[in-house]
A and B are shown apart, each in its own frame.
Chain A
């Protein structure tokens, strides 16, 4: 058990090291970073000075080492555009993105779990048919378009029911906050719920076919308890795993939704940064999102081995 966790941690560190190499080179992609960092008409002199300042005269591996040690010490550099430490910017934007992602996952679980479970229970029936149709639609509608259409339907006075705000995060207390959150969260959640639903359905199908569910029925256990106590608890593990991974994965996917709804989060910040060639900000964001993903994976693996007694013993 301990060996398993240790080896997984080691793997995660290796992956993160590789990611850091890639991120480092992301900043060197266009050859001379000073071309990016300085205005077009800057003198050769100021190029030279900046190169010196950034340590670009050093060999690449030394530069990488400096980058790595700085990063590990929490020094992510300064934004080229605003001259502020990147970490400060991230700390400012991070909560908004986290909030949006969390709400999206919450909405998708709210839709996907019951629908997935009952779709499996009524396998082959009309409800199942509808649910699966919905799932295919969920995975086929581009979220940026869905967002715009939701704005058109619910947020502009076209139909006389502009009941939701079109952009921003809302400043007037909790209700205003939630009010602003609903459309973007639904836009993201719609896509996510399709995957979660399909997974819930398929793992429920497997579990419902099992002998222990049969035995529960033989014992005279009421049907809702058969489904939720005996069935769902065993089917939930892969769904839980998937949701945690999705959470990490989707953090990167908020970009689109944040652009559509002008949500003041990391996604918008990084798109602006990419266009402004503000590489320290971009690098930090990519690094952070990868780290969250790797960490989430690690967490899931460890959680999995704790939650599933069978694996715990086997290890």
Chain B
């Protein structure tokens, strides 16, 4: 029909998102994270008092060039940024996995069973949403300390963000499940005697995967910002750890004179999150026409 035809055509004039460059930046960060020891010019924790607060481009006595300058302990900023990608990405991936798993599970159950199960689970998500996320994370991280598993996984940060993020997933998946439940093929599966478990896993879950993927990509950026905020507050990671948030925080007090310490890690966060958000928008446009425009 023509009326629909026009609307469809109008939608083609959407944001010209080209996923190429964002994807490239994300991949660059991943490569940086994995091969950090080979790429980084120096160890991220190597201190050197004579090299304190040196400007970007400074060449030290050993002939090492510090492209992004050094911080108050004379550590190489570039190396710290490269290593910092590790923590950010590890936290992001693990957190999203936890949140997506719990959220999908509870969303499916709530949406499928409805009734009091649904009410109960939705009230629980209400509680999760009501708690001030940063504060609770702060408290938990302080109480449980800054533990770093394998020098890489700030386990408390991961658990805290993961546990606080799942309501976002549960809400959306529940809504989707409610809609899918009404479809004829679900009724058919029920008539055929499928168990609720089987219906949820085999018939409903595959249909929420696009939404799930969209949620994941759209939340990765948010999680990275959150992790950076927490480490900016000095929470969850030991103080010498190279994380982007911590680096920005290190430079905060001396911004008037040593601007580069805060500037570059902040730019790193921005470019990564920006790329993830662009990429997320693109994934959403591809997979989920319902969420488009929002």
Contacts and interface: CB of A to CB of B under 8 A. Distances in A.
B13 interface: yes
B117 interface: no
Contact of B143 (A29, A124, A259): A29
Given A252-B132, A252-B134, A293-B130, A140 B229 contact: no
Contacts, number: 146
A148 interface: yes
A143 B15 CA distance: 25
Interface stretch (B53-61, B75-83, B188-196, B271-279): B271-279
A199 interface: yes
Given A140-B273, A251-B132, A15 B251 contact: no
Interface string B257-278: 0010011011001100110011
A141 interface: yes
B139 to A, nearest CB: 6
Interface in A108-135: 123-124, 129, 132
B262 A149 contact: yes
B140 interface: yes
B179 interface: no
Given A140-B274, A290-B130, A294-B130, A271 B245 contact: no
A20 B229 CA distance: 26
Contacts of B144: 29
B126 interface: yes
Interface string B230-268: 001100000000000100110110011001001101100
Interface stretch (A38-46, A179-187, A228-236, A281-289): A281-289
B293 A136 contact: no
A140 B221 contact: yes
A259 B233 contact: yes
Nearest to A276: B142
A195 to B, nearest CB: 10
A205 B135 contact: no
Interface in B111-143: 123-124, 126-127, 129-136, 138-140, 142-143
B228 interface: yes
A158 B266 CA distance: 19
Nearest to B136: A286
Name the residue in A16, A145, A209 with the highest tally of chain B Cβ atoms < 10 Å from its Cβ: A145
B29 to A, nearest CB: 14
A19 B293 contact: no
Contacts of A145: 248, 262, 265-266, 269-270
Q: How large is the interface on A (under 10, 10 to 19, 20 to 34, 35 or more residues)?
A: 35 or more
Contacts of A132: 15
A277 interface: yes
A294 B130 CA distance: 6
A201 B293 contact: yes
Contact of B278 (A136, A143, A198, A290): A136
A15 B123 contact: yes
Nearest to B225: A142
A149 B132 contact: no
B71 interface: no
A63 interface: no
B281 interface: yes
Chain A's interface: helix, strand, loop or mixed, by majority?
helix
Nearest to B127: A18
B252 A275 contact: no
Interface in A269-315: 270-271, 274-275, 277, 282, 285-286, 289-290, 293-294, 297
A161 to B, nearest CB: 13
B270 A148 contact: no
A140 B130 CA distance: 24
Contacts of A157: 256
A140 B270 contact: yes
B130 A198 contact: no
B211 to A, nearest CB: 17
Interface in B1-37: 7, 10, 13-16
Nearest to B256: A156
A174 to B, nearest CB: 28
B127 A15 contact: yes
Interface in A190-235: 198-199, 201-202, 205-206, 209
A7 to B, nearest CB: 10
Contacts of B10: 123-124
Nearest to B145: A30
Contacts of A271: 138, 233
Nearest to B271: A140
Interface in B203-237: 221-222, 225, 228-229, 232-233
A137 interface: yes
24 contacts: A14-B123, A15-B126, A15-B130, A16-B130, A22-B127, A29-B143, A124-B10, A124-B14, A142-B269, A145-B248, A145-B270, A199-B294, A202-B293, A256-B134, A256-B233, A270-B135, A271-B233, A274-B135, A282-B135, A286-B131, A286-B132, A289-B135, A290-B130, A290-B131
